[in-house]
């Protein structure tokens, strides 16, 4: 038993909650499946969740004052650094345009019926450890590895449309098979997803992209018509042919790149998902019949920025993914990767350079079988060589804007910025040592002598 649950068990001994408190949901499911579960616990009681939360706080078990939501009969406590939700067993009914339920106290069986899937209805007594299957279906479905809703699936998804996304995630996270009719119900009720907030959709998408089976989740999202609800930008990728070097259309190539990128880094997965989103709007065929996508990386970065902002991703994450998309073609633009190219890449990509290399590799491995795959060994070696002698912080102009103004007498403005950029480029190209202020001053004066129009009157 987790230390947080053990603390609660001891605190509720000889109280009205001693035999009236059950662990429910994913923690019970994952324990029975023998897979790790994050410290994220849900408890259900027939009593008052608010009173239990207050009891735990009064006894010093919860380190925060109870956070209660009386309308929903829920309370949040924090025990052993773990947030734990306590809910009073309840029935639910829903208004047409909201996923927020109207609730009333009920039995454990009623509470199980309002949950998303039968495998998440299993309960374990906090006091005794006894396992309870309120609907008599959860254990069998767990053993058979099937995904089933407690009630009619159309009603379940209509009441809370977010469960459609959870169905896909659980299917591919757990390796379960949806029962007949479950996916059909998603197709029928998919328009209901429009009432779900962008933040909730974003959170489910991130969880999917963190899985080894992220590509399978994305395939289901497309097939079931859910992407057209919250990310229609992906639809033109289906059937968009890419020419002789590709054996897949843009969408299926993208799924392969997501798979190649691997799990564990949602921002890399987002970069893989969006790296070619700019191809459909930039697709052309030249006179020789070759398919071209000129500038698709720039168009893709623009689309990625708009889509991720709409889904309420943090601006820092939007910037990272957009930068990955915009630069994913960069390493294939020159046959020789020079030290100056490495310095420029280090400067522009900052801490995302390793992500970019992973994305480029995943993309290259998604080409047609037999096409030469890019070997990044020489590129990685060149980057490491440059990093060892020229840290990113010194790949910049040796002179500040103020120092350039003092040297030249120019007023603050565009020309000072242009001269600073010239110095930065000289450092990148190896013409000027980083930190060489004397060399920088000499270079600027030579430039000014050749362009007298810049000199102050």
More confident position, 298 or 446:
298
Residue that has been written with the tokens 């987002």 in this structure: 270
pLDDT of res. 216: 97
Indicate if the pLDDT at residue 94 is higher than 70.
Answer: no
Q: Which residues pair with 91 in a beta bridge?
A: 104
Least confident of 151-160, 220-229, 239-248, 261-270: 239-248
More confident residue, 301 or 423: 301
pLDDT at 184 over 90: yes
Average pLDDT over residues 262-280: 95
- The whole-number pLDDT of residue 456 equals 46
Domains of the chain: residue spans and CATH: 3-144 (3.30.460.10), 226-393 (1.10.3210), 401-454 (no CATH)
Contact 309, 360 (CB under 8 A): no
Query: Is residue 116 predicted with pLDDT exceeding 70?
Result: yes
Tokens matching residue 18: 């001693």
To the nearest whole percent, how much of the chain has pLDDT over 90?
55
pLDDT at 420 over 70: yes
Considering the entire predicted model, what is its pTM?
0.81
Distance CA 303, CA 293 (A): 15
Tens of pLDDT, residues 136-170 = 999 999 999 999 999 999 999 998 999 999 999 99
Q: Please, which pLDDT band fits residue 439 given cuts at 50, 70 and 90?
A: confident
| pLDDT for the residue 391 | 59
pLDDT (mean) for 98-114: 76
Q: Which residues contact 214 (CB under 8 A, 6 or more apart)?
A: 208, 258, 259, 263, 269
Residue 442 confidence (pLDDT): 87
Which pLDDT score is estimated for 452?
Answer: 54
Q: Is the pLDDT of residue 119 over 90?
A: yes
pLDDT digits (tens, 9 = 90+) for 188-229: 999 999 999 999 999 999 999 999 999 999 999 999 999 999
Report whether pLDDT(335) > 80. Answer: no
Residue 314 has pLDDT above 70, yes or no: yes
Nearest to 439 by CA among 428, 450, 431: 431
Higher-pLDDT residue of 155, 399? 155
pLDDT in tens, 405-418: 888 888 888 888 88
Condensed to tens digits (0 to 9), the pLDDT of residues 344-355 reads 888 888 788 899
């Amino acid at each position: 038993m987790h230390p947080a649950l053990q603390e609660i068990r001891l605190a509720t001994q000889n109280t009205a909650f001693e035999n009236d408190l059950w662990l429910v949901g994913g923690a019970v499911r994952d324990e029975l499946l023998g897979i790790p579960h994050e410290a994220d616990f849900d408890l259900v009681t027939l009593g008052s969740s608010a009173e239990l939360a207050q009891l735990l706080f009064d006894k010093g078990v919860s380190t925060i004052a109870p956070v209660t939501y009386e309308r929903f009969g829920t309370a949040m406590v924090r025990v052993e650094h773990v947030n734990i939700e306590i809910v009073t067993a309840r029935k639910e009914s829903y208004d047409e345009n909201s996923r927020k339920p109207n609730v009333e106290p009920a039995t454990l069986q009623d509470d199980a019926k309002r949950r998303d899937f039968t495998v998440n209805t299993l309960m374990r007594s906090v006091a005794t450890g006894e396992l309870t299957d309120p609907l008599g279906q959860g254990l069998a479905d767990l053993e058979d590895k099937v995904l089933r809703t407690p009630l009619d699936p159309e009603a379940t998804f209509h009441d809370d449309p977010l469960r459609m996304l959870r169905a896909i995630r659980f299917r591919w996270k757990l390796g379960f098979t949806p029962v007949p009719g479950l996916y059909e119900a998603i197709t029928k009720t998919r328009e209901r997803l429009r009432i779900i907030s962008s933040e909730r959709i974003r959170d489910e998408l991130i969880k999917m992209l963190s899985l080894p089976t992220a590509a399978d989740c994305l395939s289901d999202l497309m097939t079931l018509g859910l992407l057209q609800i919250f990310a229609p930008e992906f639809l033109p990728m289906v059937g968009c042919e890419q020419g002789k070097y590709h054996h897949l259309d843009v969408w299926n190539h993208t799924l392969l790149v997501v798979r190649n990128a691997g799990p564990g880094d949602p921002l890399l997965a987002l970069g893989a998902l969006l790296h070619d989103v700019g191809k459909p709007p930039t697709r052309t065929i030249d006179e020789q019949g070759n398919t071209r996508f000129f500038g698709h990386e720039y168009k893709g970065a623009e689309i990625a920025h708009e889509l991720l902002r709409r889904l309420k991703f943090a601006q820092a994450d939007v910037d990272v993914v957009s930068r990955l998309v915009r630069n994913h073609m960069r390493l294939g633009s020159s046959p020789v990767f020079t030290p100056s190219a490495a310095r420029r890449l280090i400067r522009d990509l900052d801490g995302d350079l390793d992500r970019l290399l992973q994305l480029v590799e995943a993309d290259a491995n998604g080409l047609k079988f037999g096409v030469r795959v890019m070997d990044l060994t020489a590129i990685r070696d060149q980057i490491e060589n440059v990093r060892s002698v020229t840290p990113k912080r010194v790949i910049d102009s040796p002179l500040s804007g103020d120092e350039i103004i003092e040297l030249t007498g120019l007023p603050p403005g565009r020309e000072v910025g242009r001269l600073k950029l010239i110095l930065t480029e000289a450092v990148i190209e190896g013409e000027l040592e980083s930190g060489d202020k004397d060399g920088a001053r000499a270079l600027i004066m030579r430039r000014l002598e050749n362009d007298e129009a810049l000199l102050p009157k």
